[in-house]
Amino acid sequence: MPIEFGIWLFIYGGVYMRVFVIGAGIVGSLIARELSKYDIELHIIEKAPDIGWGVTKANSAIIHGGYDDPPGSVRARFAAYGNKLYDELSKELDFGFKRVGSYVVAFKEEEVSYLKELLVRGEKNGVSNLEILSSAEIRKREPNISDKAIAALWCPTAGITEPWEVAIAAIENAQENGAVVHLGERVTNIIVRNQKVRKIITNKGEYSADIIINAAGLFADEIAKMAGVGDFEIFPRKGEYILLDKKLKGLVNSVIFPTPTKKSKGILVVPTVDGGILLGPNAVDLPKDQKNNVKTTREGLNEVYEKAKKLIPSIDLSLTVKTFAGLRPETKDKDFIIGTTKVWGFVNAAGMRSPGLTAAPAIAKYIVEKVISEDLKINLTKKANFNPYRKKIPHIEEVSLEYWEELVKKDPKFGKTICFCNNVSEGEIVEAIKRGARTLDGVKFRTRASFGRCQGGFCSLKIMEIISRELSIPLEEVKMNYENSKILNGKVRI
Amino acid sequence: MDVLVIGGGAAGLAAAIEAKNMGVKVLLLERDRSTGGVLNQCIHNGFGLHVFKKELTGPEFMEYLWEELGDLDEVIRSNYTVLKIDHINREVFTLSEEGIIVFEPKALIMATGARERSLNSLRIPGARVTGVYTAGVAQKMVNIYNRLPGKRVLIIGSGDIGLIMARRLKIEGMDVVGVVEIMPEPGGLIRNVVQCLEDFNIPLWLSHTVFEIHGNERLEGVTIGKVDENLNMIPGTEKYIKVDTLVASVGLIPQNELIENFVDVDQVNRGPVIDDFMRTSVEWIFAAGNNVAIHDLVDFVYEEGKIAGKFAALYALGEKLPEVKYEFKRGKNVGVMLPQRFTGTQPFKMYLRPRKSMSKSEVIFSGKTIRKFGWKIRPSEMIDLKITNFEQLPKEVIVEVNEIG
């Protein structure tokens, strides 16, 4: 659909400010939401058909304490502050966030001395209330941790969330405040004149742009190259995961880390927001051209299992719900790339390796308050009528039965269960479609329908019927996610 | 209300029929839009041979049950989901378009059936793509929704629905490449291997499985290969097969999420421990059908439903049912087994699955042979035994299946 630019005339000291965020992952979405507080013309361009389908949808979903990033690194600066911002953010945007705390477990004496180092490092990074616990204390709090553990670093401020929901919530709120979202649109070129951003060209059109925020995740290096500032490279690092059934709720109550190695934070055991248990990730560096390789491997899954079992020996894979792999955007310096470039108006928010999810809210504020306002010296004005709140789609397991009863009275569709494993009603699915879900995955990430133990066996065809009905498209046109992912192949009989 | 039945498949309908015949007030809750469960989509024949002495299709079998039940609207509530069961206060919380309704039945019958094991749970390496469906989903696509899942298909797992679907998809014009089965023997009934595969020239590769799934968005192919006796892949046996559809028939899982936290559960059956009255360890809760253990035939499920219906009704009427006196314990070669307890007050049917195939065998109760089989028995075919004589049985009966001569 062509955008009628004439209707947006936001003037800053005589300048129309058109800001484009490339990428609707967790970083781009939160930047967009932060920008939507100001009187500008704001666009978000995302090549995938939906929000948060890249790095955002497949990671450990942890809000890190912020104790293990090297003091002085860009990562350290943002992680501890980002962590603090999640309380307010989760209230305003109404997404699942639980400060469940984390343990880094040591099995050997030299690991205990590393825990002490981490504690000192954490304090330097501004992380408070870190504590080293004895094996007896660990056992009391998390009885399923291996009895070979001799000490653990306890960080009460670590948390868990659902990153895709954070991104969806942020985009919904940005839209509520006037942002325009372009899904399924791929940036093909960026026009720069006199070392200044001029235009952004996509497979669907071209737009004049004053500021471009490059939050393109794995592909941020390619976007930077288009602007002529491609002085960094993004390498995909694959991590494989095993998700276990919610029946195991309580197996661990907090995030369990091994003592980290130089390469990574190791393979963790994580409670998920809705009660499941997530194991992973391993870390496999892939060649630069494999930014779509999210295949699981036998070796990788075995490694995840073996290492998770060292932390929690009672782990039982017979309750596997699914396995998946995600990619993390790595850079040579293992650090975030944030800030202005030599092209005026082209701003990077790239290289968001761990703890990118944790840091994202802090990065969003930094981009607006420091990079745009101070470095680019743009005098942004706050919107008078900014609405900071977004409400999540209601779910029966998260409210009282009385509340749900009222909801069913207003709309009986909330009384009709579609996904039996996760108790998701037709009302929730219809609401997800109203908010932009177009595919089975779109519905899944917004409602958890088909996310459970039967993996859509009972509900996927019913959800397809609802999508088909709500969008007035034939049943066989309903897709799982991307263009070439149709579920059905025509009629048996006409 | 006296008896509440949860689940409207064959077991639940049979239970409701029998309870109603006993003269009690009965209500059946079905979470789907109509009753019948998996019978709705099983349009092939072979149902009802035991109980109706006829060869029926699934929908026909279901209609027989509807007819027996009489006024469906009086008994059945569809689109009702049970949210939770409070076993102490005997309350059943439900959600429907009427809102939240709490039932307080005198007796409860769990007939919640089974679900299919998803291929995702098997941790097969590779991409997550479309085109991978369980056999039941593929069956629903073709038989209920009138849609095909793809063009060229491999079936993984030779469970009965997998075999049935191999034939079904072939008849409807799909290119059915074959069936891979990780075990050295087929997982479904021999009659289905003959009628669905052999009669249609569909190859069955035993001791084979899928090693890897290929594709980007839609399935493009799979790597299959041979496994050794420990089910580990044998390197060098890999073969790439180009398919756009993979149909998985890799097992059924009894669904007991509503009760498993407070009834005794048999870890082998994956269902509640029951007695010859189909009572669970919680006295007002009965259970019947595939949620108790996976059965081969709907006829047996129907019979169990009737037993549950009868005794739940008697219990609801205030009759004091006899107490459990005997217990079966698994000995050698015994897999799925039900019931696990009995009262010794009535003859009953016992079901067993041997752990391995045996050409000639005997079933032994605490050292005493009670039945000999002169033909081959196998894990995929449930054995049923009529138990009529309880004299001389110890309180704890050790059940064994032994290979002979």
Q: Residue A7 pLDDT > 50, yes or no?
A: no
Give residue A339's region: left, alpha or beta (phi > 0; psi -120 to 50). Answer: left
Question: Is there a single domain that holds both residue B174 and residue B279?
Answer: no
Of B283, B303, B320, the last residue of a domain is: B320
Instruction: Enter the tokens of residue B92.
Output: 């059943």
pLDDT in tens, A354-378: 999 999 999 999 999 999 999 999 9
Residue A74's closest CA among A356, A372, A262, A374?
A356
Cβ contact, residue pair A490, B147, below 8 Å: yes
Question: Is there a single domain that holds both residue B30 and residue B3?
Answer: yes
Cβ contact, residue pair B147, A476, below 8 Å: yes
Among B80, B91, B130, most A C-beta atoms within 10 A, so best to mutate, is: B130
Q: Residue A11 pLDDT > 80, yes or no?
A: no
pLDDT recorded at residue A13: 47
pLDDT in tens, A33-79: 999 999 999 999 999 999 999 999 999 999 999 998 999 888 998 99
Nearest to A458 among B93, B100, B115 (CB): B115
Question: Is there a single domain that holds both residue B234 and residue B273?
Answer: no
Residue B98 maps to which CATH number? 3.50.50.60
Of B250, B278, B312, the last residue of a domain is: B250
* Mean pLDDT along residues B117-132: 94
- B170 at the A interface (CB within 8 A)? no
From chain A residues 280-309, the ones with a CB under 8 A of any chain B CB are 292, 294-298, 300-301
* Mean pLDDT along residues B220-245: 97
Nearest to B218 among A401, A412, A485 (CB): A485
Nearest CA-CA distance, residue A53 and chain B, Å = 13
pLDDT in tens, A445-461: 999 999 999 999 999 99
User: What residues does B178 pair with on adjacent strands?
Assistant: B154
Nearest CA-CA distance, residue A68 and chain B, Å = 32
Domain count of the fold of chain B: 3
Q: What is the pLDDT confidence band of residue A488, given thresholds at 50, 70 and 90?
A: very high
pLDDT in tens, B252-293: 999 999 999 999 999 999 999 999 999 999 999 999 999 999
Cα–Cα distance measured from residue B103 to residue B109, given in angstroms and rounded to the nearest whole number: 13
pLDDT in tens, A239-288: 999 999 999 999 999 999 999 987 778 999 999 999 999 999 999 999 99
- Burial class from Cβ neighbours inside 10 Å (0-12, 13-18, 19+) for residue B368 reads exposed
Cβ contact, residue pair B100, A486, below 8 Å: no
Residue B91's closest CA among B258, B288, B305?
B258
Query: Which residue in this structure is represented by tokens 């007030």?
Result: B25
The nearest alpha carbon in chain A to B132 belongs to A487
Q: What residues make up the domain containing B359?
A: 322-405
Question: Is there a single domain that holds both residue B95 and residue B10?
Answer: yes
> What residues of B are in contact with residue A461 (Cβ under 8 Å)?
137, 140-141, 144-145
- B319 at the A interface (CB within 8 A)? no
Cβ contact, residue pair B120, A489, below 8 Å: no
pLDDT recorded at residue A82: 97
Cβ contact, residue pair A482, B217, below 8 Å: yes
pLDDT recorded at residue A14: 45
Sign of CA dihedral B317, B319, B322, B324: positive
| Residue of A72 and B315 predicted with greater confidence | B315
Nearest CA-CA distance, residue A128 and chain B, Å = 39
Question: Is there a single domain that holds both residue B163 and residue B246?
Answer: yes
Kindly state the DSSP code that residue B194 receives in the 8-state scheme.
I
Question: Is there a single domain that holds both residue B26 and residue B138?
Answer: no
Question: Is there a single domain that holds both residue B138 and residue B237?
Answer: yes
- B151 at the A interface (CB within 8 A)? yes
* Coil/strand/helix, residue A67: coil
Domains of chain A: 5-56+164-234+334-375 (3.50.50.60), 102-156+235-329 (3.30.9.10), 396-477 (1.10.10.1100)
Residues B129 and B215: beta-carbon distance below 8 Å: yes
Nearest to A298 among B100, B125, B128 (CB): B125
pLDDT in tens, A290-334: 999 999 999 999 999 999 999 999 999 999 999 999 999 999 988
Q: What is the pLDDT confidence band of residue A15, given thresholds at 50, 70 and 90?
A: low
Nearest CA-CA distance, residue B47 and chain A, Å = 23
Question: Is there a single domain that holds both residue B61 and residue B1?
Answer: yes
Question: Is there a single domain that holds both residue B52 and residue B97?
Answer: yes
Question: Is there a single domain that holds both residue B296 and residue B191?
Answer: no
> What residues of A are in contact with residue B244 (Cβ under 8 Å)?
489
From chain B residues 212-231, the ones with a CB under 8 A of any chain A CB are 216-218
> What residues of B are in contact with residue A476 (Cβ under 8 Å)?
147
pLDDT in tens, B60-69: 999 999 999 9
Residue A41's closest CA among A10, A3, A13, A6?
A10
Question: Is there a single domain that holds both residue B255 and residue B106?
Answer: yes
This complex has an ipTM of 0.97
| Catalytic residue ranges of A | 64
Cα–Cα distance measured from residue B139 to residue B160, given in angstroms and rounded to the nearest whole number: 12
Nearest to A461 among B81, B145, B172 (CB): B145
Of B303, B320, B337, the last residue of a domain is: B320
The nearest alpha carbon in chain A to B114 belongs to A454
> What residues of B are in contact with residue A405 (Cβ under 8 Å)?
99-100
Let me know how long chain A is: 494
Residue B337 maps to which CATH number? 2.60.40
- A483 at the B interface (CB within 8 A)? yes
- B79 at the A interface (CB within 8 A)? yes
Question: Is there a single domain that holds both residue B215 and residue B199?
Answer: yes
* Residue B114: C-alpha distances to residues A422, B253, B254, B262 (Å): 16, 5, 4, 19
